[in-house]
């Protein structure tokens, strides 16, 4: 921490705290995530090292930049670029929701960031308003990759907790261990609804209540999900919520435009196989109307170039997969071989800087 001046606390969570600091040499403002004593808590250590591993692999304009990692007295410190506020902060200022054009700008960038993750076989698993950073000039960055992981291989299953309940897809709620990229699309659908109204779409107070909110809107779950629920020992003695009548999104969101509603419906399909990819969503009318996607992409490119030039710490990091690099097409990204990252990086207690 000798290189940084502590400017104050940004926030606290169950795994540590985030500090606003100034890099003494360059004067650049950074955010430093200070974990709890990670050597003594296996879960904290797992989440911290997973976040380091993921962000080492992923370099993109709409993912937060990890600048440095170091350890002091059994605590792991992650140094990130500082971004002013989150979508949650914006919603607190606008309790009735954001205007559709603002939502469109935020969502366009979220989809670009998640598309990049998915192309590299990584799912975020915790998309929500507080994990979406927004700079003063409107650049959006996804953060908090502590629950992210690579897609399971055939025959492999996921075992650990994922996603804040309100943004969990139905397959997660029933306990399905074979899921994929589609869980992020469901969370994005919930995010869109919340940005447009200021209220969470499905604010369940338990997994069963969460499922009730979902089936009340979309109807009963697919057969596969019902079977998984019935086999899940966590739900022994419980009944899966079922409804005879639904309250569709159109009735709930009477003031939302049809093209915005279309985005929500695409993301919130009960069957994960029916949810589109991020690249398909940005082609829908919500983004194509009035030439928005093309114009905004150009505007973003200029803003990103200026922001990266103004930040010497980011400028010094290698960003081969920057979204502003026109050579990085979808096809070429799919063909790139992911770098193998040693998950044991930084496992020894040391004062030496861990290379990022």
User: To 5 degrees, how large is the angle CA 102–CA 107–CA 112?
Assistant: 135
pLDDT score at 103: 98
Going by their DSSP bridges, the two strands 16-23 and 4-13 should be labelled as antiparallel
Digit-coded pLDDT (tens) for 101-148: 999 999 999 999 999 999 999 999 999 999 999 999 999 999 998 888
Q: Is 34 annotated as a binding residue?
A: yes
- The CATH code for residues 4-82 is 3.30.200.20
Q: Which CATH architecture has domain 85-291?
A: Orthogonal Bundle (1.10)
Domain residue ranges in the chain: 4-82, 85-291
> What residues contact 88, with CB distance under 8 A and at least 6 apart?
128, 129, 130, 132
Stretch among 78-87, 177-186, 241-250, 319-328 having the lowest mean pLDDT: 319-328
pTM: 0.86
The verdict on whether 99 is a catalytic residue reads no
pLDDT of amino acid 13: 73
Annotated catalytic residue: which of 41, 84, 126, 342?
126
What are the φ and ψ backbone dihedral angles of 180, each rounded to 5 degrees? -150, -145
């Amino acid at each position: 921490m000798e290189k940084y001046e502590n400017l104050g606390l940004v926030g606290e969570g169950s795994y540590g705290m985030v500090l606003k600091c100034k890099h003494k040499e360059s004067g650049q403002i950074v955010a430093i995530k200070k974990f709890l004593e990670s050597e003594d808590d296996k879960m904290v250590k797992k989440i911290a090292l997973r976040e380091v591993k993921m962000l080492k692999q992923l370099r993109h304009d709409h993912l937060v930049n990890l600048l440095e990692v170091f350890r002091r007295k059994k605590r792991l410190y992650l140094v990130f670029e500082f971004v002013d506020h989150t979508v949650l902060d914006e919603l607190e200022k606008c309790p009735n929701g954001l205007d559709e054009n603002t939502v469109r700008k935020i969502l366009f960038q979220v989809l670009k960031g998640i598309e990049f993750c998915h192309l590299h076989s990584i799912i975020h698993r915790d998309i929500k308003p507080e994990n979406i950073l927004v700079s003063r000039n409107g650049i959006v960055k996804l953060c908090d990759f502590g629950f992210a992981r690579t897609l399971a291989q055939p025959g492999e299953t996921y075992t650990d907790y994922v996603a804040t309940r309100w943004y969990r897809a139905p397959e997660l709620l029933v306990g399905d261990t074979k899921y994929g990229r589609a869980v992020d699309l469901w969370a994005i659908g919930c995010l869109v609804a919340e940005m447009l109204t200021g209220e969470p779409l499905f604010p369940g107070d338990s997994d069963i209540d969460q499922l009730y909110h979902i089936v009340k809107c979309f109807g009963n779950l697919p057969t596969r999900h019902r079977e998984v629920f019935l086999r899940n020992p966590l739900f022994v003695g419980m009944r899966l919520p079922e409804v005879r009548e639904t309250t569709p999104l159109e009735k709930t969101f009477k003031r939302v435009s049809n093209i915005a509603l279309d985005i929500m419906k695409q993301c919130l399909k009960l069957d994960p196989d029916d949810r589109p990819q991020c690249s398909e969503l940005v082609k829908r009318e919500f983004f194509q109307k009035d030439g928005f996607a093309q114009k905004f992409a150009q505007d973003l490119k200029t803003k990103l170039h200026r922001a990266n030039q103004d930040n010497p710490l980011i400028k010094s990091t290698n960003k081969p997969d920057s979204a502003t690099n026109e050579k990085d097409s979808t096809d070429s990204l799919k063909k790139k071989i992911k770098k193998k990252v040693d998950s044991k990086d930084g496992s020894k207690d040391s004062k030496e800087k861990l290379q990022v």
